[in-house]
Amino acid sequence: MSDLKAEISARLRRGQTLWAAGAYDALSAKLAERAGFEAVMSTGFGVSASHLGAPDVELYTMTENLSVVSKMVDALSVPLIADTDTGYGNALNVMRTVRAFEKAGVVGMIFEDQLAPKRCPAAAARIEILSPEEHAAKIRAAVDARRDPNTIIIARTDATTEDEAIFRAKLYVEAGADLIQPISRCFSDIHGLRRLRAAVGVPLSLQILGWLETDLSPEEIEEVAGLAVFPLVALMSATEAVQRNLGALRQTYQTRTIPQPVTSMTDFKKLIGFEAAEAAQDKYLLGDIPASPAEARIAAVMDKVFTNG
């Protein structure tokens, strides 16, 4: 993985766009890889929804997020970029976060400049952000804390005006950020994103939401982005399918009436790795290993002893 990480890091830094899908647990991460995506991004929005059944307002802790992300890394053979929110505190907390997630095997981390605890910009009417100098210091701490120079640090700004976003992003790049991520509600067209890209001198990290989904072509995204992620397609697809099927099932109590097709047990077992698990059981579990002739003779003698009293 170290060679792959070095290759991916170089690619992100030179702006050769890496397309990724968002995932919220190990299964959705595996499905993203199976679909052919070269990378996966953990989505805090999805982690909060799937593991807490709660909105993305940084209710989960760093260690709870780390637990989910580490399982995703273990399930993947492609790189994972982690949504690490605000870093869960000040610059010292950010340093601990970097070391913990780097140890878990992520290729990169995204740190946003919101005041902790954060509010999700996709839903919140009001966003409170740190001073640009304070977040620049947090990015500098993240860069200094990484033990592997191939670990990518992405600085996200939740500023909602273009000039403010550009001002902040330039400070974050000076602090060592490898990529800059604006929020979708800040810029409104490709011209603004080109302006940001030119001003900061590093590739952008774009989460393809809102107008970026509807108004931009893949070619336009690739002009400016080192990382392009569809963060919520997996979460929203699963939610819609499960909601519809369970609703129909509740009405009829018959699976043949559910509206969405379901994966067959055979296909699911193959996806999740039952064949490999069963092979390992056959190889390693002692209960499945035939007794040797000597062990069989001893067992027969003992059986006679206990049978005859």
> Which long-range contacts link 191-199 to residues 24+ away (Cβ below 8 Å)?
192/162, 193/224, 194/223, 194/224, 195/162, 195/166, 196/162, 196/165, 196/166, 196/169, 196/224, 197/223, 197/224, 199/166, 199/169, 199/170
Question: 153-180: b or e for each residue (b if 16 or more CB lie within 10 Å)?
Answer: bbbbbbbbebeebbebbbbbbebbbbbb
User: Is residue 120 annotated as part of the catalytic site, yes or no?
Assistant: yes
Question: In sequence order, what are the beta bridge partners of 42?
Answer: 23
Question: Which residue in this structure is represented by tokens 């610059």?
Answer: 91
Q: Specify the pairing of strand 204-207 against strand 108-112.
A: unpaired
> Could you tell me the end-to-end alpha-carbon distance of the chain, in angstroms, rounded to an integer?
61
Amino acid at 236: M
Upstream peptide bond of 121 is cis (omega within 30 degrees of 0): no
Catalytic option among 6, 78, 115, 120 = 120
φ, ψ for residue 204 (rounded to 5)? -95, 155
Question: 32-67: b or e for each residue (b if 16 or more CB lie within 10 Å)?
Answer: bbeeebebbbbbbbbbbbbbeeeebebebebeebbe
| Catalytic annotation, residues | 120
